Structures are given as C-alpha cells and as structure tokens.
Amino acid sequence: MIGLASPHFITQLPLMTTHKSETSPENNTSSEGSECEDESSGNEDEESVAIPLLSTPTSPQQKRIKPKANYPARTNAAGIPVTLQKELAQDIQAFGGLEKFKETKFGTSKLCKTKPDTCGVGGSQLRQKVRDKLKQWKKLSLEEYQTVLNDLGIWTSEQSAVHARLTSRKSTSSLKQPTLHREAIEKQALPKEILTFTPTVIEPELQTPPIATSSSLMSSTNTFTINVNTACPEANREVMVYDLERLEGVGEKENALFRGFWICFPIDIRYIFDDQSTDHWKARVFSSDTVLLSIRAWNCSHLYDRDEFEKTVDDNVLEAIDAAHHDLEEEPNDKKEGRKWKHLFLKFNSGVELSAKSVNAEAGEDEKLKLELIPVTVSHKMIKTTCTTMYAAFKVARVDVKAHKKGKLEKKDDKSDAARLLDLISGINGMKV
C-alpha cells in the first residue's frame, strides 16, 4: 500500500532594410491600383504581428518595460487573425523565404491576387490589413522574422530538412558512436536548427508534420541525448538501462523470445493522483537505434513541498526556490507547459535495431513502449516504518539479432494432400485399389 501522507514515502523524479517602392503593373486608377506597394504609405500595422516570443526577465532591471519599437513581434485586436498570419508566412516560405519575397517584384500584389478569398479583394479593409502586415514583415531583420515564424509555429525549409533527418526510421550512420563523458552528453542534443524552434501543429502541405511525441514542446533546455551504456546500467543519467535475454513476443511473434533492453527510473505518483488523464511518463521507438523518453521534468516536492523545505533549509535556499516558482508562473503558457517536461533521446549502439511492436500489442504506428509501474517497499533496522518507492519502466526488443523459439518442438505433418484425403475415406468398404 502506497501512502503519500506518510513522511517516509520516498518521492523521486529524475527528471521540455530599406525597400524599393513597388509600382503595380495594373492601371493605377482602378480599384486594383491600390495594390501599389508604396512602403511609405498606409498604416504600418506595427501592432498586429504574431504573438510575441520575449525572454523572461531574470532581474528587476530587465523587467522594466521597453519601448514598443524594440519588439519586432506584437499583436492587438485590430490585426488580422493568427490563422491568416500563418497562411501568409507559409506563402512567403513558398517564395523561398523572406529575402526572396523582398526581392520579388510586386510580391505583395502577386500574393494577394492569388488568394482573394483569404486576403480580400482590392480596396477592401482586409486587403489593406494584409498589405500592411506584409510590409511590416518585410521591414524585419531575418532574426526578427524568425521570431515571428517561431511564434506562429512555422518551420523554415532548413528546419523541415533537419526534422526529416531526425524522423528517419532507418539509421544512415555506420560509424560506432563514441562514448562521451557526462559533460559532453549533457551538451549533446538536437541540431541547432531544431533546438532554436518551438513547433506547434502544422497543417499546410509545404511543411513536414511535427514529431508525434507529446503535447509538450521540445527546446534546447528540455531535450537531451544519452549514448546508452548497457555495460554500466547506472551510467545513463536519469535512467537505468539493462540488457535482457528473454523478452516474450506478441501476436505473430508470440512463440519468439527476443533480446532487448529494460529502462527504469523512479517517479512520484502524486502526478498521477493530480492528473489522471495525462501520460506523465511515455516512451516510443524514435528511430531504428533510438528511444524517445518523455518524462516530468520537475521533482514533485520541489514544486509542491516548499513549506517542508522551509523547516530545514537556509533562507537563501528558500529564496532561490521561490524565485524559480515565480519565474515559472510568469512564463507564457506554451513555455510553461514545455518546462514541465524533459525529453531524453536514448541512443543505443550503431547497428542495434529496436522494435516495440514485437513485444507490445498496443504499440501502434508510433511504436509506443508499454509502461510498467513497479512499487518497491523497503525496510531498515534504523527506520521504524517501511518506505515505498515507485518506479516506471519500459521494455523494448531488439530485432537485429535472431529471436529464439520457445515451447516444445512439434513434429510437422509431412503428409501430402492425397494422403490426408485417403485418411478421410479409408473407412469405405470394398474400395478398389
């Protein structure tokens, strides 16, 4: 029986420019003549860009409000809808990016004329808002425009290429991965193009679908790669990883015994009690030799047991805990959600091929690993009561090595079809040979 009210219950968690004026080729006296791109005319619409992605202040001095002009990405109720902003950003990507769009003669007019249903007809208020939006974006630097793309959840072609490389189901590397020291492992993560980007749901055909891992966002602060060392189970950061010799198959493989791995780490079950609809610890086969493990990043006690710490720790420690809580609370909702999670890429040796379907009937196309919860109750002569720790664990099979067959060897029926048919009619009397 796991009792959370007991002070002895053990809770652990090892751990998301100036621009040339463009003159429309149409008759300037017509209604379409308003499409002339005079960069000095019209409302600049500087307050209707995507949701801002601003760094969280780390000191009182940084918390001072900066002038509005310093923010390349701002929004207000007068701007165009975010869904339309996403569509416009995707269209700019189709032009080849912001720089190519800037260089395209009458680019704004061409873009708007091809989509009158979403950009409005010439002379309409919607068309003017779209033109103002595009003019504003064309004035941004590449770095500022990248911030807009990040806020909208739009991938550049470079980021899509990196994602496609990461989601490849087959390893293209034949080189043995070097063993890294702890410091090097902690610094190793996804390529820079992905780490500087916070993806959201992407629908257009031009974009590669996001990684189907969890609702949380991956970033450089919550995503790490671990080169798994099965010779030393304890040398794998937050998790223990063991070699398994006998993993029973399922489905068509139910008579097979696979080799594989067992991944185990301590958890705090209060997360389950507080939210029973969320998978707080999950894993799947990410590529042929890699498991993606998504777990809760915060130790539950550090989030919810502040008053218990106050009874023991120094004031400066308590102040640091409080400051961390305030910083987390002041984060935008998407960043706050991302900070709840930690994503670990467990990369096994080159040549290893992993499979979830072979040992988990519910793995599905995402190759999900089956979660196990393991309570471990311990006692000690120095402790009057018992203590229970809960562990989460996953098993994954290897299919690069031959699986063994289990069970008694049954002799095969080697009779021909004619022999079996004869057995059926052998009881007929007077049969002529």
Whether the per-residue pLDDT at 278 is higher than 80: the answer is yes
How are beta strands 223-227 and 341-347 bridged, if at all?
A: parallel
- Check residues 44 and 229 and name the one with the higher pLDDT: 229
Whether the per-residue pLDDT at 296 is higher than 80: the answer is yes
Question: Mind listing the pLDDT tens digit for each residue in 353-373?
Answer: 999 999 999 999 889 999 999
Q: Give residue 134's pLDDT.
A: 87
End-to-end CA gap in the chain: 75
Quickly count: other Cβ atoms within 10 Å of residue 220's Cβ. 13
Q: Is the pTM of this model over 0.75?
A: no
Quickly count: other Cβ atoms within 10 Å of residue 106's Cβ. 17
* 3-state SS, one letter per residue, for 355-372: ECCCCCCCCCCCCECCCE
How are beta strands 290-296 and 341-347 bridged, if at all?
A: antiparallel
Question: Mind listing the pLDDT tens digit for each residue in 31-41?
Answer: 444 444 444 44
Q: Distance between CA 394 and CA 263 in Å, rounded?
A: 5
**Interval 239-244 mean pLDDT:** 97
Estimate to the nearest angstrom the gap between the alpha carbon of 347 and the chain centroid: 16
Q: Give residue 113's pLDDT.
A: 83
Lowest mean pLDDT among 54-63, 268-277, 315-324: 54-63
Whether the per-residue pLDDT at 402 is higher than 70: the answer is yes
Of the candidates 395, 389, 86, the residue with the CA atom closest to the CA atom of residue 258 = 395
Residues forming beta bridges with residue 37, ordered by sequence position: 22
Whether the per-residue pLDDT at 229 is higher than 90: the answer is yes
Reading the block at residue 276, the tokens are: 């029973």
Of the candidates 130, 163, 154, the residue with the CA atom closest to the CA atom of residue 49 = 130
Lowest mean pLDDT among 34-38, 87-91, 267-271: 34-38
Q: Give residue 410's pLDDT.
A: 66
**Interval 397-426 mean pLDDT:** 79
Confidence of residue 431 (pLDDT cuts 50, 70, 90): low
Q: Give residue 428's pLDDT.
A: 55
Q: Give residue 354's pLDDT.
A: 97
Q: Give residue 75's pLDDT.
A: 45
Q: Give residue 195's pLDDT.
A: 43
At residue 395, φ and ψ (nearest 5 deg) are -115, 140
- Check residues 100 and 388 and name the one with the higher pLDDT: 388
Inter-CA distances, 308 with 4, 302, 312, 313, Å: 14, 10, 7, 9
Confidence of residue 398 (pLDDT cuts 50, 70, 90): very high
Q: Give residue 237's pLDDT.
A: 94
Confidence of residue 8 (pLDDT cuts 50, 70, 90): very low
At residue 424, φ and ψ (nearest 5 deg) are -70, -30
At residue 2, φ and ψ (nearest 5 deg) are -95, 115
Confidence of residue 150 (pLDDT cuts 50, 70, 90): confident
Q: Distance between CA 170 and CA 166 in Å, rounded?
A: 10
Give the whole-number percent of the chain exceeding pLDDT 70: 64
- Check residues 336 and 24 and name the one with the higher pLDDT: 336
CB 329 within 8 A of CB 318: no
Whether the per-residue pLDDT at 292 is higher than 60: the answer is yes
Inter-CA distances, 285 with 2, 167, 211, 345, Å: 31, 10, 12, 10
Q: Give residue 259's pLDDT.
A: 96
Q: At what angle do helices 82-94 and 125-138 cross, to 10 degrees?
A: 60
Of the candidates 224, 274, 53, the residue with the CA atom closest to the CA atom of residue 152 = 53
Q: Distance between CA 315 and CA 143 in Å, rounded?
A: 41
Estimate to the nearest angstrom the gap between the alpha carbon of 349 and the chain centroid: 23
Q: Locate the domains of the chain by residue range.
A: 31-158, 214-405
Confidence of residue 314 (pLDDT cuts 50, 70, 90): very high
Q: Distance between CA 191 and CA 345 in Å, rounded?
A: 13
Alpha helices in 298-416 (DSSP H): 300-304, 306-310, 315-330, 333-338
Estimate to the nearest angstrom the gap between the alpha carbon of 428 and the chain centroid: 71
Inter-CA distances, 319 with 146, 283, 362, Å: 36, 35, 46
Lowest mean pLDDT among 12-21, 127-136, 168-177: 12-21
Compute the mean pLDDT over every residue in the chain, rounded to the nearest whole number. 74
- Check residues 292 and 92 and name the one with the higher pLDDT: 292
**Interval 148-177 mean pLDDT:** 60
Of the candidates 408, 409, 401, 407, the residue with the CA atom closest to the CA atom of residue 245 = 401
Question: Mind listing the pLDDT tens digit for each residue in 183-222?
Answer: 444 444 444 444 444 444 333 333 333 343 444 678 888 9
- Check residues 9 and 264 and name the one with the higher pLDDT: 264
DSSP tag of 252 = G
